[in-house]
Structure 1
């Protein structure tokens, strides 16, 4: 049963109830200190992101520098964003929408997207970002699960992917088309915004009022819609400050698309709440373009993904020569575990290491991170942020037992942090399954060392059991990419009558490398030397590309499903795939 549309009392009953000790964690207090809040104790993400900065005299400070695909540039101040988002909020109400309605946005990284996100939140409605690259079915499925009331998109995307089934979606009452013109059954956004007022008082939403829906793919079945509330902004503010060094005036570039949770949380909300100057690039990854942006815009904090970092590594250190990276002060990575090799490489090339961190769509924000305050242990996820209580657990007589340092188990968190998801839309049983014995269960296997650093081992369903050994894919993949020829690697377990499972690896090569038997033997030899014969891959397959989601995660489960002839599950987020 969804919490959307319910009263605060009904929502509270439907949500996981944190333990009393979890409620006493300092996260809420620390995050609140970075915010202003609204009268009567209400809190609104949109207000905290732009309106309060204008009220405090920072309206002329730069909020966003937009770089278009064709080289054009647009600069928006906090005052500009406040006015644009107020126009959007008024537009929604002018067209009969109400507080609590769901607004879906599917478009590339354009200024209108940011105005729509902030305007939706200021209006007290629920913002849901979608990948513009999704096909018709993934778009429709997510909009049906989320009971979409409003869609903001482009004319091209609407005609190609939505128009054919739009009338079948009875919940969808309004379609806004970016630009000056729109099909007959839609509204052109540009003139509609121009006619709307720039004056709008942010809705007095409460801490538990729904604000965001982020979709995440499951291994099987339909995607899950994770619901987050306005109170999540407390952790958005805190984690941005602690884990990413987001300070007022800092030039910050998050390369993630707002179509996934990082691009919204740390590409819109957290940076604006912390009053930084954001760089937004409309174009997709291009090595020379990226290096040029870092140099030209004097980027100080750079938040990217391991896939992009490995692509930089694949191009070699020579490709970075001649660029001025002296403005860089802090680099961070998210999306999947960052191999130790990438940390060492970035330190050599950029003069700064990438700091890995860990979180999930369900956690709503960074939980564990390598912060500037601590020494980096390359390959480690880091330590929990203030107010986050993490542990390593295993099942014990129907409950859970916390494991000592050095043992591998499931990474778990004590519920109660502000950005914790409050629901899976229409899937209450699936939601409740995430909690047990006072813990949120992440589904990730990890280990905590004696210094308090956490180390990722793999997804629980990715663990390989071979000849009595438990093998985490990440450990093997990290060893494989130590080879100078290997760019990326993915490891799965294949059933074997004798060993139970054997380790099989799929690798892509750096440019200039030739895939042949000699290279395969050389790579396997390095893996045996690093890991031992029992853990090293028995077989290595060369691929031109590995299957990945648009957020950059390698889809090991898809490799395994295809290898064993099993159902592929939800592949709507698949971006890179060469069978």
Structure 2
């Protein structure tokens, strides 16, 4: 897979010399240098073999033609592209979904069976009087009914919103209020515990469908009874590509969650990025570990793999290394899309935990959710025999925008290069509301030129908030980054996370990456702490790996290493040890929550909080 040369990676490849345009590396420079790829030696020829040629010849109009479209030219519907076009062809008997329960039981749906099941649910919605544009919310774990409900509702042209099943009552009610929920699909336990008492706040909620109840009551229906008598034939109505399909919620630093609107045309991006960024091939067995309550779990845990007609592995259980390694081995997973948090948890256990598992089928591994530290990229190569390919995107972009591709050199710590069809730039805002492009290597705000199919079409009920995201044709992401001379982008931090200390602008990710290079560190998060002299000083919160003591000697060692690595102006002045760091369910460390607690400020929206051990 990699060029010959000296390297510590277990795959036997090479970490070649570092380019002068790369971000600074640790003292152990050879270990973090560019991982050179030789596309001709890959076991499966990559879909994107020549990056420059692919970008030069790409157009979204041509990408659209890779999909079928509804019969008789009646538009574009996500569910048709994901299910029905395969069910009508040679993939009808191929396993589309393999759902593995917490108990390890497997339940398969072929594309033909998935088409019939989603048709029955669509007909069930029709029998309840649902119309195109009605809000269908799905509050379930990663069980088969979640996927059937989402796709069936998309066939009905309803607006689908998947919710995290671990949400509490308040965030559920808030999102259903904002999204004008008319239908909720959930379990009896979740409904009784989290929704029933709040129905007075949800006047538009007419129907609740329980997947595990037989006689629920007035306005509350049994999934089995609703779908069992429904026809398994359903004709999708003409669908304009610009009709709203999905409503995802994302939390800002202040205020209520934002409802991000995506349309059926987004499926063009899902397909194209599955092809190029995840390198999906026809016979792949694909596993995205994200929950569909997060946009990754919808775009790449449901839509992208199904549009490619591959077998999509769905695992109900949360992270547990032996379980996950067992899935990779037993299911012969070939392409794996996971999160930095999970990777760091695996790193805690060490590479020895993998020795009893045959992972030889795995050919490509990718990560998203927050920036992936260089250490994690290199560890992937050492433990799995192939590096983790980081990529970058947002709820607002709807799909992967910047990625490390299967055929291209990896610069550990970099987000990679823009997808074909995506024009990215580092810009600085001007007083007149416009932007100017930053020079190579300079930090600024990451911006994307508008026009890709999965670009959000608005924040629901918040037009002014939506307009503030744009400067002319540029979408301003709110992420600070830099671009090197080779066209690789490097994440610096969120614009509202950047620390200004003694005139220096310090990106949290850079400091966190330096801390992560120490063998004792499992996770790190950095904030700016007010200081009367410097304005702010850098404070780090650190979680250690098992077997390391959180004592004063360790604190001094980490401070000294960081000072040596980063210099006195950038290195943290304080370190606080924590058992774990607070994270969203998508795996992002919540720096703003750490800062609010440090300063005694309001903690804000905690609806996406997954773990929080103080």
Shorter-chain TM-score range? over 0.9
User: Could you tell me which residue of structure 2 aligns to residue 103 of structure 1?
Assistant: 136
1:406 pairs, out of 441, 462, 466, with 441
User: Could you tell me which residue of structure 2 aligns to residue 519 of structure 1?
Assistant: 554
User: Could you tell me which residue of structure 2 aligns to residue 490 of structure 1?
Assistant: 525
User: Could you tell me which residue of structure 2 aligns to residue 37 of structure 1?
Assistant: 69
2:510 is the alignment partner of 1:475: yes
Runs of 4+ in 1 over 4 A off after TM superposition: 24-27
User: Could you tell me which residue of structure 1 aligns to residue 540 of structure 2?
Assistant: 505
2:318 is the alignment partner of 1:281: no
Structure 1's 262 and 321: CA in aligned 2 closer, same or farther, altered over 3 A? same
1:386 pairs, out of 413, 420, 428, with 420
Matches within 5 A, 1:430-449: 430-449=465-484
User: Could you tell me which residue of structure 1 aligns to residue 194 of structure 2?
Assistant: 161
CA distance in 2, matches of 1:454, 1:182: 55
CA distance in 2, matches of 1:120, 1:109: 17
Task: Give the TM-score taking structure 1 as reference length.
Answer: 0.95
2:603 is the alignment partner of 1:568: yes
User: Could you tell me which residue of structure 2 aligns to residue 3 of structure 1?
Assistant: none
Tell me whether 559-568 or 270-279 shows the greater mean CA deviation: 559-568
Matches within 5 A, 1:21-420: 26-38=58-70, 39-40=72-73, 42-185=75-218, 186-398=220-432, 399-420=434-455
CA distance in 1, matches of 2:318, 2:345: 13
CA distance in 2, matches of 1:574, 1:45: 30
Asked whether the equivalents of residues 155 and 182 of structure 1 are also in contact (C-alpha less than 8 Å), the reply is no
Give the gaps of 5 or more residues in structure 2: 1-55
Asked whether the equivalents of residues 53 and 78 of structure 1 are also in contact (C-alpha less than 8 Å), the reply is yes
Q: Deviations over 1:317-356 (max 9, x none)?
A: 1211221111011000000000000000000110010000
CA distance in 1, matches of 2:215, 2:139: 15
Structure 1's 64 and 543: CA in aligned 2 closer, same or farther, altered over 3 A? same
CA distance in 2, matches of 1:509, 1:275: 42
Q: CA deviation at 1:180?
A: 4.4
CA distance in 2, matches of 1:382, 1:72: 38
Give the gaps of 5 or more residues in structure 1: 1-23
CA distance in 1, matches of 2:236, 2:284: 26
User: Could you tell me which residue of structure 2 aligns to residue 554 of structure 1?
Assistant: 589
Structure 1's 451 and 381: CA in aligned 2 closer, same or farther, altered over 3 A? same
Aligned residue for 2:181, secondary structure, equals: coil
Q: Deviations over 1:49-75 (max 9, x none)?
A: 000111223210110111111121111
Tell me whether 215-224 or 397-406 shows the greater mean CA deviation: 397-406
2:494 pairs, out of 459, 484, 491, with 459
Asked whether the equivalents of residues 177 and 201 of structure 2 are also in contact (C-alpha less than 8 Å), the reply is no
CA distance in 1, matches of 2:302, 2:111: 12
Q: What is the RMSD of the two structures over their aligned residues, measured on CA atoms?
A: 1.2
Structure 1's 504 and 25: CA in aligned 2 closer, same or farther, altered over 3 A? farther
Aligned residue for 1:184, secondary structure, equals: coil
CA distance in 2, matches of 1:523, 1:340: 18
Aligned residue for 1:458, secondary structure, equals: strand
Q: CA deviation at 1:203?
A: 2.3
CA distance in 2, matches of 1:544, 1:31: 47
CA distance in 1, matches of 2:586, 2:304: 18
Aligned residue for 2:277, secondary structure, equals: helix
Aligned residue for 2:265, secondary structure, equals: helix
Q: CA deviation at 1:437?
A: 2.6
Tell me whether 479-488 or 314-323 shows the greater mean CA deviation: 314-323
CA distance in 2, matches of 1:510, 1:273: 40
Aligned residue for 2:496, secondary structure, equals: helix
Q: Deviations over 1:509-566 (max 9, x none)?
A: 0001111000100011110111011111100000011010011000001111111122
User: Could you tell me which residue of structure 2 aligns to residue 12 of structure 1?
Assistant: none
